Amino acid sequence: MAIGEAEEMVEDLGMGTRRGGKEEPVRAVGDTTATQAGSPGKSGDAAVVHGRAVVQMDESREEHIARLLSTVQREPANPSTSQSWGLGSDSGGHSYFDGEEPPPEVPKKPSPPEVKDTVKDKDLEYLFQDPLRDSSLDEELKRDLLKKRENSKYTEMLKFREKLPSYNKKMELVQLVRANQVLVVSGETGCGKTTQVTQFILDDYIERGMGSLCRVVCTQPRRISAISVAERVAAERAEAVGEGNSCGYQIRLQSRLPRKQGSVLYCTTGIILQWLRSDPHLSSISHLVLDEIHERNLQSDVLITIVKDLIRLRDDLKIILMSATLNAEKFSKYFDNCPMIHIPGFTYPVKEYLLEDVVEMLRYRPQSQDRRPRWKRRFMQGQMSRPEKEQKEEEYKESWPCYARTLRERYSDSTIDVLEAMDDDDKIDLALIVELIRYIVLNEDLSSPNAMV
């Protein structure tokens, strides 16, 4: 039944009752007396008692209206209006007439309790920390650092660190980080910037009694580099990686987190982008180090763009950009000509060994019995080649006899024969590489940590 029909039925009760299609109005005869309109005892009669209209009707109509109101299940908009019609309502909002017992309340099914997610996302665990200063922790970190300097493992690692080119720039790096919000660090591969810059920042805060405010995050382009660098830094600090110590790492679906305050975290670029979805300001991070920024990709470019906007909102956030190439000027210009510092690499005397030197040392012989050059084999097999390769082969055939004569002065005939057969540019001789590595390992003169193949 529609709500409008129910309201119309109730309105009819207020105006009067219908008898055989004829409407009879309600009459009021006084304030203290009751007078019935119509014959007493008949359905549809109305009376006024103490100024209040009371409607009398047959039981069938009364039940019909009660069912209507129960079906609608709506509380009256104006309680005073409903009282003027002699209607009441129970706690469930169902209406009933004066003198009628309210329907029994149906017990409601208890709603299931709300389950609150009390377990944080593991990827956001390090991010969601309160960056509050803890004086007791500051003193504890300071004592721990002084104690480490008496540790034999730490001092042994410190001797190696002091040989790195970046260690000679320690004080200059620390001063630049203190004085500037953004700093670009360029340095050749092997100078130690990835492992040392983060430690310089952390140790500086600890020595100044502010270790609890230092939370350094360093991004890496690859997961394996984030893990290996974190393990190396932890070893240099005579600690285990993660486990509540000063250095840890976090990659997708795997993490070994450091302590909450006074720590360094190495992670992939994607982790930072995920953090920004939950905390666009990276509120708990004090230093963000973007390493290997010269390896341009979509994630790193997006992160650098976001960081440029972020530093306008967080003037306390320090940004350190590190590149292994000399294009640091581009990044400096992008960040409003921020300061730059260059760390030189190692310089060692280098001795080069050519392919003919390696073949001569190893007395190497290829396993293949077909000693014909590639151009001869392809000619015999009837294979066609591209014009540019044909041109290179023609040049090679013309220059080889002259070059072979110069080699005969320094190398044996067997070495020259092997070189003539090894002209397939599309194939890597893995057997030769294996023999070379074995030779380097077994010979102490060549077995050096600085040897490169």
* DSSP conformation class of 252: T
pLDDT at 43: 44
CA atoms of 294 and 307, how far apart (whole Å): 16
What distance lies between CA 119 and its chain's CA centroid? Answer: 17
Neighbours of 121 (CB within 10 A): 11
Owner of token pair 């990659």: 251
CA atoms of 202 and 29, how far apart (whole Å): 95
Cα–Cα distance list, 329 to 189, 299, 310, 335 (Å): 18, 21, 21, 10
Consecutive 10-residue runs of the chain (453 residues): their mean pLDDT?
Answer: 54 48 45 44 48 64 78 53 48 52 58 43 83 91 93 93 93 96 92 95 96 96 95 95 94 93 96 94 96 91 95 95 86 94 80 87 76 54 62 76 83 84 69 89 68 55
pLDDT at 284: 94
CA atoms of 415 and 411, how far apart (whole Å): 6
Cα–Cα distance list, 322 to 189, 196, 202, 315, 371 (Å): 11, 12, 17, 20, 50
pLDDT at 373: 55
Residues 6+ apart with CB under 8 A from 214: 201, 202, 205, 206, 261, 262, 263, 286, 287
Give, to the nearest 10 degrees, the angle between helix 135-148 and helix 193-207: 120
Do residues 335 and 181 touch, judged by C-beta distance below 8 A? no
pLDDT at 285: 96
* DSSP conformation class of 111: P
Residues 6+ apart with CB under 8 A from 77: none
Domain boundaries, the chain: 3-97, 122-343, 355-442
CA atoms of 229 and 233, how far apart (whole Å): 6
Do residues 211 and 142 touch, judged by C-beta distance below 8 A? yes
Do residues 243 and 227 touch, judged by C-beta distance below 8 A? no
pLDDT at 88: 53
Exposure on the CB side of residue 173, measured as CA atoms within 13 A: 28
For the record, the structure tokens of 239 come out as 């600690």
Q: What is the DSSP string of 112-155?
A: PPP----SPPGGGTTTS------HHHHHHHHHHHHHHTT-HHHH
For the record, the structure tokens of 449 come out as 């940590």
pLDDT at 443: 83
Do residues 272 and 217 touch, judged by C-beta distance below 8 A? yes
pLDDT at 209: 94
Residues paired with 36 in a beta bridge: 47
pLDDT at 282: 95
Cα–Cα distance list, 361 to 8, 128, 144 (Å): 111, 59, 53
Cα–Cα distance list, 238 to 147, 228, 231, 255, 277 (Å): 11, 15, 10, 20, 35
Owner of token pair 């080069």: 352
CATH class label, 122-343: alpha beta
pTM of full prediction above 0.85: no
